[in-house]
Amino acid sequence: MYRRVRDLMEDNDLTQEYLAQYISCSQSAYSKIESGQRQLSIDYAIKLSSFYQVSTDYLLGLTDYLYHRLKMKK
């Protein structure tokens, strides 16, 4: 999970400071999230998934799909 948060930041050429400000935490706290020293709270996971437009399941490592799959009704 933590690697995905870091990879998304790097892939989008963003800084820890920028993302920390976006999710309303300190840069130090964000750094600890990325390194796995601090748990990713539900609030932060929702903010990051919204920011990156990926599913929370992807952030949490529950799926390798970036986006939710919509189930179609027959």
Q: Is residue 74 part of a domain?
A: no
Rg for the chain (alpha carbons), in Å? 13
Q: Is residue 71 part of a domain?
A: no
Say if residues 1 and 8 touch (Cβ distance below 8 Å): no
> For 5-63, how does the pLDDT look when each residue is reduced to its tens digit (9 = 90+)?
999 999 999 999 999 999 999 999 999 999 999 999 999 999 999 999 999 999 988 88
pLDDT confidence of residue 71: 53
Q: Is residue 18 part of a domain?
A: yes
- Check which CATH number belongs to the domain holding 53 and give it: 1.10.260.40
Is the pLDDT assigned to residue 72 strictly greater than 90?
Answer: no
Say if residues 33 and 19 touch (Cβ distance below 8 Å): no
Q: How many independent structural domains does the chain possess?
A: 1
Domain extent, residue 48, equals 2-59
pLDDT confidence of residue 1: 77
Q: Is residue 15 part of a domain?
A: yes
